[in-house]
Chain A
Amino acid sequence: MSTALQDDDRKTFAGIADVLIPAAEGMPAASEIGIQGEILDKVLGFRPDLRENLLRGLRAAKGKDPRTAAETLNKTDGPAFGAISLAASAGYYMDPKVRKLIGYPGQENRPYNPDETPEYVRNGMLKVVSDRGPIYKPTPK
């Protein structure tokens, strides 16, 4: 089996990816952001371990109705379905446009002032816990 992605592989991947991630709820379909092109290459660059299972699944699904192919793979070849669905969803949620639509800035650096008195201290939320007193059993004598 050739381990290089062929045009047919990309076409099959786009079809299945659109079943998994369709245009709906104000979100674009996977193929609309070009999931089968550079994004797929990038995903496989980060995760070369996915390639074998992904290609096996895509080649088994070649020429079939994408929905039927996705359902069959999900039932009969978990590793292949896992690789295809992970590549599709990971690539999708790595895309900046998609992230903007779901309000995800990525794992960001969020500044804070460590010397500021926390809100739960200022508003007395924590005091009620302290006021109930110790809840531990001391070391027995």
Chain B
Amino acid sequence: MAIAGSDQRSENADVLIIGAGASGSVAAKHLSDNGFKVVCLDQGPWVDNKEFAGARPEWELMAQKRWHPNPNVRDLENDYPVDVSESDVNPLMYNAVGGSTILWAAHWQRFMPSDFRVKTLDGVADDWPFTYEELEPFYEQAEEEMGVSGLAGDPAFPPTKPLPTPPLPIGKIGMKAAEGMNKLGWHWWPGPNAMPSKPYRGRNACVRRGTCLTGCPEGAKASMDLVYWPTSIKNGAKMITGARVKEILVNDKGLATGAVYIDRAGRERTQKAGIVIVCANGIGTPRLLLLSTSKRFPNGLANSTGLVGKRLMMHPYAAVAGVFDEPLESWLGPAGQTIQSMQFYETDKSRGFVRGAKWQVMPSGGPLGLRAAYGGRALEEAWGVNLHRNTKRVFGHAFEWGIIAEDLPEESNRVVLDPTLTDSDGIPAPKLIYKNSENTRKLIDFHLARAQEAMKAAGAVSMTTTPLMRDCGWHLMGTARMGEDPGTSVVDPYGKAHDVPNLFVYDGSNFVTSSGFNPTGTICAIALRCVKHLIANRRDQEIAA
């Protein structure tokens, strides 16, 4: 266990934040800016940028283990296992200060206005308790804090102010993809990325190394340990690393009073606080709430509806990779996204399904193949003379159109506590039960067919199609949904648990629907909206004595 700042672990905090990923980091910074005494517990360590292998020859070798986004593959001490035996998709995350932003691709997306009104527009799922317009100022502030690069004016969204830094180069792969889209008359736009194209508030400019998914050696990418924590620590916030939380405590009034955690020496410790904010991601948060049973809350904390853990959404991901005759330097970043398309994002019921998907072009990595999900071919096909032929044909000559499919919330897709599997501290591990729906399957089939047309229009000489990548569960959402009605939601529109008035959930668990976009921009904007409301209403906020 390591503590940044003075040791206040035995003191009461004003606010205890559990999890130092995207939402917890936003909350800690703004609370500490406003004089709150903040303590944050994270089961992982601080990560030094020098650990990242992106600039070294062993990069791809390390990407398949040490920096793999699947915790079951990575299997570090700070990871917990996840039972995926009944899931179509593996969840991806990183456990450290910064959370999954350590390894994220930093695709910075807003949701579209329709994403907040799917019930009204499409008759499915539920509307959100606020609109795009209500969230818009928080998107704008989050973009400024994160140092997003990109080009305003994308006709897929309402008009926005210019982003803080100019767009990153889209490279030969982006140009090639864009040429294909223009031939078809389809939408594309240079992709916004949470990586500045110029030095920004103590961070370096992106250098296009293209290793974002295994950590940014340059200190350019907006990972939360770099964006928010230096200021939070300076403000007096305390970060306790190596702290694996096993239970949120409650008093006889039904208020949260803090949490019990196990440090890396195996000692059980208690951190008391007046307010508790859970920010442990769409799997870690319901796991912890379900673990926190008591006489008053026998089914887990904030779970009077039985919805904690249900409505899990993970964004099934499909892709079409195209190979081109001409060299495209397709190892170059950002990775990150070069261009994106929302041509088929909005619902068109004539397609036989509702909602849609965002597409993005990403580079294809080094010669070893960045993504193990593409492997598994026969000996004679993958090796021998064909290894050399394939490398010459494909390496540096390929890119993919990736497709993020919106999956709708279903109570059957859920996180539960595993009856036998535990983490290294003996705490029950989460188990995922997650199946793609008929709507999702039709959606993916349609989009793959269109992406093949886009690749063909761009001039691809060959293509491979991945209908569902198993290692794609980056986006963990919906397992403690927000809403106005305490009978049908876990938290209110500001993240406050309906059942426990000083317990909050700020991470992607609180999403009502998933959209077809990378969610971190929206997680940050919602966390910002929630924490600013908490700060503004601090005098009326009930706290544990």
Q: How far is the CB of A64 from chain B (nearest CB, A)?
A: 15
Chain B contacts for A22, CB-based, 8 A? 384-385
Chain A contacts for B62, CB-based, 8 A? 46-47
Q: A90-B60, A108-B209, A129-B155 are in contact. Are A139 and B190 (CB under 8 A)?
A: no
A139: contacting residue among B133, B168, B218, B331, CB under 8 A: B133
Q: Does residue B46 face the partner (Cβ distance < 8 Å to A)? A: no
Q: Mark B329-363, 1 if CB is under 8 A from A, else 0.
A: 00111000000001101100000000000000000
Q: Does residue B170 face the partner (Cβ distance < 8 Å to A)? A: yes
With the chains together, A43 CA to B60 CA distance in Å?
A: 11
Chain A contacts for B156, CB-based, 8 A? 134-136
Q: How far is the CB of A71 from chain B (nearest CB, A)?
A: 6
- Per the CB 8 Å criterion, the residue count for chain B at the interface is 75
For the complex of A and B, the 8 pairs showing the least CB-CB separation, nearest first, are: A114-B197, A25-B388, A109-B207, A94-B57, A139-B113, A90-B61, A20-B383, A110-B208
Residues B208 and A109 in contact, CB atoms below 8 Å apart: yes
Chain B contacts for A96, CB-based, 8 A? 57
With the chains together, A108 CA to B209 CA distance in Å?
A: 5
A110: contacting residue among B190, B207, B387, CB under 8 A: B207
Residues A114 and B198 in contact, CB atoms below 8 Å apart: yes
With the chains together, A135 CA to B62 CA distance in Å?
A: 41
Q: A102-B367, A136-B112, A140-B117 are in contact. Are A114 and B165 (CB under 8 A)?
A: yes
Residues A104 and B395 in contact, CB atoms below 8 Å apart: yes
Q: Does residue B132 face the partner (Cβ distance < 8 Å to A)? A: yes
Q: A118-B190, A120-B190, A138-B158 are in contact. Are A107 and B346 (CB under 8 A)?
A: no
Closest to B375 in A: A82
Q: Does residue A31 face the partner (Cβ distance < 8 Å to B)? A: no
Chain B contacts for A129, CB-based, 8 A? 155, 181-182, 187-189
Residues B175 and A107 in contact, CB atoms below 8 Å apart: no
B residues neighboring A (CB under 8 Å): 54-55, 57-62, 64-65, 112-114, 116-117, 120-121, 131-133, 149, 151, 153, 155-158, 165-170, 175, 178-179, 181-182, 185, 187-190, 197-198, 205, 207-211, 218, 327, 331-333, 342-343, 345-346, 366-368, 378-379, 383-385, 387-389, 391-392, 395-396
Residues A120 and B170 in contact, CB atoms below 8 Å apart: yes
Q: How far is the CB of B271 from chain A (nearest CB, A)?
A: 34
With the chains together, A91 CA to B372 CA distance in Å?
A: 17
Q: Does residue A85 face the partner (Cβ distance < 8 Å to B)? A: yes
Residues B389 and A25 in contact, CB atoms below 8 Å apart: yes
Closest to B57 in A: A94
**Secondary structure at chain B's binding surface: helix, strand, loop or mixed?**
loop
Closest to B369 in A: A89
Residues B332 and A46 in contact, CB atoms below 8 Å apart: no
Residues A46 and B395 in contact, CB atoms below 8 Å apart: no
Chain B contacts for A130, CB-based, 8 A? 153, 155
A-B contact pairs, 11 of them (CB 8 A): A26-B388, A110-B209, A114-B205, A120-B170, A132-B185, A134-B156, A136-B112, A136-B113, A138-B158, A139-B113, A139-B131
- Per the CB 8 Å criterion, the residue count for chain A at the interface is 53
Q: How far is the CB of B467 from chain A (nearest CB, A)?
A: 22
Q: Mark A64-88, 1 if CB is under 8 A from B, else 0.
A: 0000001100100000000001100
B182: contacting residue among A43, A99, A125, CB under 8 A: A125
A94: contacting residue among B58, B157, B392, CB under 8 A: B58
Chain B contacts for A49, CB-based, 8 A? 65
Chain B contacts for A103, CB-based, 8 A? 327, 396
Residues A104 and B158 in contact, CB atoms below 8 Å apart: no
Q: How far is the CB of A55 from chain B (nearest CB, A)?
A: 17
Q: How far is the CB of B362 from chain A (nearest CB, A)?
A: 14
Chain A contacts for B116, CB-based, 8 A? 139
Q: How far is the CB of A35 from chain B (nearest CB, A)?
A: 13
Residues A20 and B60 in contact, CB atoms below 8 Å apart: no
Residues B114 and A137 in contact, CB atoms below 8 Å apart: yes
With the chains together, A19 CA to B383 CA distance in Å?
A: 8
B64: contacting residue among A27, A86, A109, A119, CB under 8 A: A86
Residues A112 and B387 in contact, CB atoms below 8 Å apart: no
With the chains together, A100 CA to B132 CA distance in Å?
A: 50
Chain A contacts for B61, CB-based, 8 A? 43, 46-47, 86, 90, 94
Q: Mark A121-135, 1 if CB is under 8 A from B, else 0.
A: 000011011101111
Residues A102 and B190 in contact, CB atoms below 8 Å apart: no
Chain A contacts for B198, CB-based, 8 A? 114
With the chains together, A114 CA to B168 CA distance in Å?
A: 7
With the chains together, A29 CA to B26 CA distance in Å?
A: 52
